[in-house]
Amino acid sequence: MELTDVARERIVADAVRAGEIWAQTAPADRATVLGMVADALDAAADRLVPIALAETHLPETRLRGELTRTTFQLRLLAGSAAAGEHLDVRIDHADADWPMGAPRPDLRRTAVPLGPVIVFAASNFPFAFSVAGGDTASALAAGCPVILKAHGGHPELSIATAEVVTGALREAGAPDGLFALVEEPSDARAILTHPEIKAGAFTGSIPAGRTLFDLAQARSEPIPFYGELGSVNPVFVTEQAAKRRAQEIADGFLASFTLGAGQFCTKPGVLLAPVGSGLVERLSAAALPAAAPLLNDRIVAGHRHVLDELLQHPGVTALVGGDREPADPPAPSLLATTADALLEDVDGILTECFGPTAVVVTYEDEKQLIEVARALDGQLTATVAGETDDAIVPELVATLARKAGRVLWNEWPTGVSVTHAQQHGGPYPATTAPGTTSVGTAALSRFVRPVAWQGFPDALLPDELRDTPHHPIARRINGLLIPGGSA
């Protein structure tokens, strides 16, 4: 049910008040609180997983593993925030002889939380990218309150997870209003445009994400909107790799694009293979997995719509599957085209088909790999299946690094490790903020902004800027990176 204007205002006002308290809470104390949230989610697994089973059609082993990932990333992000990695603390002491030609004042720079954030949950990861997922975890760890828009694909799980989160926050003594759930799209849009909201985060389709991004930018005060939207995650197979490892590549590609019934944002949706290598023949002769239920009816319909458009394209044929009659669940499909046809209509063929469908593109000359790479729009990932002595590889990798947030060498993009060096983002339309990541500890930096203090006495500075902080963290002092300690 849609909230009243008064109810929405109360949620935002509560978030503002909670945010003022939470931002002043020591990062180590915030980490303790979020650790209690993670513990509560782990303890509620036997309650939450059956609800997820009923609403998402995902297998129990996958859901339990995903819940483990969710609580792990809560703890990892909270610990990283406590270590101050996202603050990028810099201290420059006053220097009367600073060589720019004028004395340098005492300047000390850190980062402060943005303020209330609205997070739009995703459907395909009902734990890890949903209510208590990475966007929520990184915003809370960075010191921001969160208003969460539940995804309609798993409403009961969203409510149950939110109850666990709010209960754990209350028990830990966190300020009331630090986390809230809304269910209706109209409420979420109204909150996104509220002047007290300072950022938005989203995982989903290009049309929905672009609509929300445009709302965020059209405000009288535009705000950051961190949207992960869409990607076909191309795989480029060199001639030597196909000659030496055709079966290995075929098996890996089939396993990756059908993993989770193709419902991963990092699914390799396009594979470029050399003509005459036998790779296409191996793919067409392989036994594909049986049809598996998709997450919800909307995803079934979306997959069918894009599959039909591809099958109607004059340059595309069905290699395996590609049934003309709709089926639920849909069987995996492999479609085929050529590099020439693709380059004639990049937008028509390189389109994300979310679900168990991928396109195999054959090429005559390795130079076409560079042409296709240059024609790509922004991607989350790009993969090279190659050999170290391939002459084409250096230029290909350099081109792909300009197009994708993560470039892989002889590995598959499905499976996004939650770790310090992860980059889950890329140029538009993969994301709306290519300089950021939604996975890994660098995700914290999305929800803070830098502030410099000039000429302040030590007692009035934030702890991390003081000469002798209570909680030492790594800092850059007079240009030198110091692991921790006094300035």
Q: Among all chains, which residue has been given the structure tokens 């630090």?
A: 178
Asked if pLDDT for residue 485 goes beyond 70, the answer is no
pLDDT at 326: 77
Q: How far apart are CA 6 and CA 13, in angstroms?
A: 10
Per residue in 473-483, is it b (16+ CB within 10 Å) or e — as a string? Answer: bbbebeeeebe
Q: The tokens of 163 are what?
A: 């109850």
Q: How far apart are CA 168 and CA 42, in angstroms?
A: 12
pLDDT at 321: 86
Of 55, 183, 228, 239, which one is the catalytic site residue? 228
Please enumerate in sequence order all residues whose Cβ is within 8 A of that of 206, keeping only pairs 6 or more positions apart, or say none. 229, 230, 352, 429
Answer yes or no: 239 catalytic.
Answer: no
3-state helix, strand, coil in the chain (%, to 5): 40, 15, 40
162 φ, ψ (degrees, to nearest 5): -60, -35
Cis-peptide into 329, omega within 30 deg: yes
Answer yes or no: 395 catalytic.
Answer: no
Lowest-pLDDT range, 141-145, 205-209, 325-329?
325-329
Are 403 and 428 in contact by the 8 Å Cβ rule? The answer is no
Residue type, 55: E
Q: In the structure, what pLDDT confidence band is assigned to residue 479 with cuts at 50, 70 and 90?
A: very high
What share of the chain has pLDDT > 90, as a percent?
A: 96
CATH topology of domain 5-229+434-482: Aldehyde Dehydrogenase; Chain A, domain 1 (3.40.605)
The per-residue pLDDT of the chain, averaged, comes to 96
- Cα-Cα-Cα-Cα torsion 73, 78, 84, 85, nearest 10 degrees, comes to 0
Asked if pLDDT for residue 486 goes beyond 70, the answer is no
Q: In the structure, what pLDDT confidence band is assigned to residue 484 with cuts at 50, 70 and 90?
A: confident
Enclosing H/E stretch for 153:
none
- Whole-model pTM over 0.85: yes
Kindly report the CA angle at 415 between 414 and 417, in degrees rounded to 5? 140
Structure letter (DSSP) for residue 458: G
Question: Under CATH, which architecture does the 234-409 domain have?
Answer: 3-Layer(aba) Sandwich (3.40)
Handedness of CA 298, 301, 304, 306 (dihedral sign): negative
> Can you point out the beta strands (E) in 103-198?
107-113, 117-120, 146-149, 179-182
CA separation (Å) from 127 to 38, 63, 188, 229, 305?
A: 12, 8, 20, 18, 27
Q: How far apart are CA 413 and CA 434, in angstroms?
A: 18
Q: In the structure, what pLDDT confidence band is assigned to residue 450 with cuts at 50, 70 and 90?
A: very high
pLDDT in tens, 376-419: 999 999 999 999 999 999 999 999 999 999 999 999 999 999 99
Q: How far apart are CA 274 and CA 387, in angstroms?
A: 14
pLDDT in tens, 72-126: 999 999 999 999 989 999 999 999 999 999 999 999 999 999 999 999 999 999 9
Asked if pLDDT for residue 322 goes beyond 80, the answer is no
Q: How far apart are CA 61 and CA 298, in angstroms?
A: 24
First to last CA, the chain: 54
For the chain, what are the domain ranges? 5-229+434-482, 234-409
> Can you point out the beta strands (E) in 252-394?
270-274, 317-320, 333-338, 357-363, 379-385
pLDDT in tens, 9-38: 999 999 999 999 999 999 999 999 999 999
Q: How far apart are CA 205 and CA 230, in angstroms?
A: 6
11 φ, ψ (degrees, to nearest 5): -60, -45
pLDDT in tens, 334-388: 999 999 999 999 999 999 999 999 999 999 999 999 999 999 999 999 999 999 9
Asked if pLDDT for residue 447 goes beyond 80, the answer is yes
pLDDT at 285: 93
- Considering all CA atoms of the chain, what is the largest pairwise distance in Å, rounded to the nearest integer? 78
Asked if pLDDT for residue 487 goes beyond 70, the answer is no
Q: The tokens of 207 are what?
A: 């049309």
pLDDT at 445: 98
Residue type, 347: D
Q: How far apart are CA 236 and CA 342, in angstroms?
A: 14
Residue type, 340: D
Of 144, 265, 353, 366, which one is the catalytic site residue? 265
Q: How far apart are CA 205 and CA 429, in angstroms?
A: 10
Structure letter (DSSP) for residue 399: H
pLDDT at 196: 98
Q: The tokens of 214 are what?
A: 């445009």
Q: The tokens of 137 are what?
A: 């975890």
Asked if pLDDT for residue 150 goes beyond 80, the answer is yes
Nearest residue to 9 via CA among 144, 163, 116: 116
pLDDT in tens, 172-231: 999 999 999 999 999 999 999 999 999 999 999 999 999 999 999 999 999 999 999 999
Structure letter (DSSP) for residue 457: -
Q: How far apart are CA 290 and CA 157, in angstroms?
A: 27
